[in-house]
Structure 1
């Protein structure tokens, strides 16, 4: 049974169960596709691109250059957050998400079509960087909107749990990208580096069509509709300043908090899924297929862990869960590398479970509800997107590059990398301690 928008929309279910289920599933599918596209690039940068696009430099420089192009996408993300945040707060969540999804799929497909350095020289890496920038720009508007579609549509006492489900799209995308990459990695090197690596990128078109179909069936969120209804009824309606300008002027502290909060999530994740894969295969001599298998196990376990921590945040609050995850990440950084050095599949899986499935997943599950609840309805898309994507630059995009550079400074030793993870996690734990508890807020009203 549905209820009307005249009721407090964050206190009761404003949609019937079927509609809520459709919103959650469609956001999960869309998020999975977006992260499939984005994370596929991470795997390719660790295993393929140094030879295809940077073959004239040393292996170390080639890996650094490849990881640098991975980071370019993160530079573009805040710009996408600003552009699409404004669009989402003024024109609506739905139309914005259709644009980001379609554009992302197109950019990914074109990466799969790029000629190699041997074919066209320097123009090959130049075009790779341009397409990577476009990818990042579109992802910058995707995450905030996908999370808002859920958080603004579900009952207040289930925002943590139901908001955490689409967040597993990062792992669905990683699982899909890793699985397909594992298959193409079975090809002989000559075929792999000529055409095999292109297959996962080109398959993005099929996935995007599915996502667009799902999103076209959605309505705007009840919160967005309620705000528009109130504006229409207001006798003192007036033209307001841009949502981006307003949120930067009035809630810049929340944006800074989100940037710091992302350190405990992004640094361990990209260290494990991009840098550690390259380090294990290149320095420790572990088989590529073994590392891909470890990553896939981690992705499978992410689904129940997100549900667990999301539901827990509905009961005890967002801050306690976030602080726990950040401190656990700091504690597990060094044990992760000890277990990785063992070369044992079981022990490596254990290391990934501790750092990703417990530490990272507890943080990642809370972010959709925690970040979006910090802002008022008229600037929520802009605020959550800008904060998250600015944090992504500092905390995520250049983590593989920084980690590789730290090992180069320390004779290929991982100690400085683990220390970097500890510092990042402690910074986020402090930010979570300073952040307000948001789990009880009414999303139709501005925060006090």
Structure 2
């Protein structure tokens, strides 16, 4: 086992061992890819819609008795409640996914997210039912967050375990393409509907994107019900009796202890990717508008164009990982993210609309989706088949809270303490990039790894 681990860590090319190819027909694999793409698009469309609504709509409609600043804070507190339950959803559905199957879990999580998002579009406001309106908003957000805790991980896992060994990187990147698609759909619909007269937008216009999300949900559910289970899980089912006997002797905590190295390097990879996403798409956007005093439409245009660029580039990045390895491509992307930070801040400081928009085009279309595209396959290959779903969802959701939840708060606190200069912002962005690069450096190369193996990659 130690020899195998050493080879996985140091190999620049796939191991020269025979790895069983998944026996998934091309048409079946296409359906799996499309359902994974739609599912991840739905999650990120939900996330983007809620963020936009929290900033522009939910305050006056659901918290009207508070002053504007407190109403905005209350809106984002409701948003944060979904973040808090994501790790719980990840752990719970990860266990179910390892026990009962990937497809089983993905149908449940997709339905939960779709129903919750549709429900937000149907919610009565505070003026109609009083305090029940914000309570129902928080409950729907909790349902949405609990389901989202396993959606992206499960979609990546099912698709990568079903893909041909030499094309795992390409198919894993489909999930990352879905995240960029979701951001593009939500921001485009919102920008279009915000052109309505303000009273119409606040009365019914804001509801339309939430209601239309049911179309994506139904399409993805139809496809998911028709796809087959992961070939890896089918093998696990055949070994189920033996696994239960082993678990009685070894137990889950022994498995957790044995997986501490892949868990820690995977967590660092997730911190590097996810921290940068939330700092750029959340904090940096707000900082550019409120501190640098740039028009919000300039930043929004940059994000939209970057999303289009991300959709176009992420599958290419997946192909590059199939040719050169996950680790090498990740290190190059992390290095670019680190090196681009100071030039990006200097470009924003010029206050030139084209240059400011260009910064967000490069970030949103370059390292952010493409790092997730690498991670989507890499973390699947990092863990053994026995508890892959459980460990992967735990890594992703704990990492999301530590980076996506805490990163913007840390950045805001540092800026509040040091003043409006850009150096502290750059330092935080570079710190997350450095965490990602260092973790990637110590992580093993997993391209070509046998996904039916119960052993972790390091």
* TM-score, normalised via structure 1 length: 0.89
Q: How far apart are the structure 1 equivalents of 2:71 and 2:176? A: 32
The question of 1:155 aligning with 2:155 is answered no
| 257-266 or 246-255, which deviates more | 246-255
Partner of 1:381: 389
Query: C-alpha displacement at 1:10, in angstroms?
Result: 4.8
Partner of 1:168: 177
The question of 1:359 aligning with 2:364 is answered no
Q: Trace 1:408-447 onto structure 2 (pairs within 5 A).
A: 408-447=416-455
Q: How far apart are the structure 2 equivalents of 1:119 and 1:413? A: 44
Q: How far apart are the structure 2 equivalents of 1:404 and 1:237? A: 48
Cα 1:301–1:138 change in 2 (3 A) is: same
Partner of 2:9: none
Deviations 1:334-377 (A, max 9, x none): 33333334454432332123323332233111112110111111
Query: C-alpha displacement at 1:19, in angstroms?
Result: 2.0
2:445 is paired with a residue whose SS is: coil
Q: 1:151, 1:159 within 8 Å by CA — same for their partners in 2?
A: yes
Q: 1:70, 1:398 within 8 Å by CA — same for their partners in 2?
A: no
1:76 is paired with a residue whose SS is: helix
Partner of 1:5: none
Query: C-alpha displacement at 1:177, in angstroms?
Result: 0.6
2:245 is paired with a residue whose SS is: coil
Q: How far apart are the structure 2 equivalents of 1:181 and 1:401? A: 26
Q: How far apart are the structure 2 equivalents of 1:310 and 1:284? A: 36
1:240 is paired with a residue whose SS is: helix
Deviations 1:372-403 (A, max 9, x none): 11111121111111101110001113444444
Partner of 2:405: 397
Partner of 2:189: 180
Q: Trace 1:17-416 onto structure 2 (pairs within 5 A).
A: 17-57=26-66, 59-119=68-128, 123-231=132-240, 238=245, 240=247, 245=253, 247-416=255-424
Cα 1:160–1:116 change in 2 (3 A) is: same
RMSD after superposition: 2.7
1:14 is paired with a residue whose SS is: coil
Q: How far apart are the structure 2 equivalents of 1:333 and 1:69? A: 31
Q: 1:268, 1:356 within 8 Å by CA — same for their partners in 2?
A: no
Cα 1:111–1:53 change in 2 (3 A) is: same
Deviations 1:253-296 (A, max 9, x none): 32232222122211222223233443444444444443332211
Query: C-alpha displacement at 1:404, in angstroms?
Result: 4.0
Cα 1:288–1:354 change in 2 (3 A) is: closer
Q: How far apart are the structure 2 equivalents of 1:114 and 1:366? A: 38
| 81-90 or 157-166, which deviates more | 157-166
2:162 is paired with a residue whose SS is: coil
* TM-score, normalised via structure 2 length: 0.87
Q: How far apart are the structure 2 equivalents of 1:139 and 1:96? A: 11
Cα 1:157–1:83 change in 2 (3 A) is: same
Cα 1:163–1:246 change in 2 (3 A) is: farther
Note the residue ranges of structure 2 that are not aligned, 5 or more in a row.
1-16
Deviations 1:69-91 (A, max 9, x none): 33332221111111101111111
Deviations 1:164-206 (A, max 9, x none): 1122111111111111111121122333333322221122222
Cα 1:211–1:224 change in 2 (3 A) is: same
Number of aligned pairs? 439
Q: Trace 1:4-19 onto structure 2 (pairs within 5 A).
A: 10-19=19-28
Cα 1:131–1:428 change in 2 (3 A) is: same
Cα 1:366–1:17 change in 2 (3 A) is: same
Cα 1:269–1:318 change in 2 (3 A) is: same
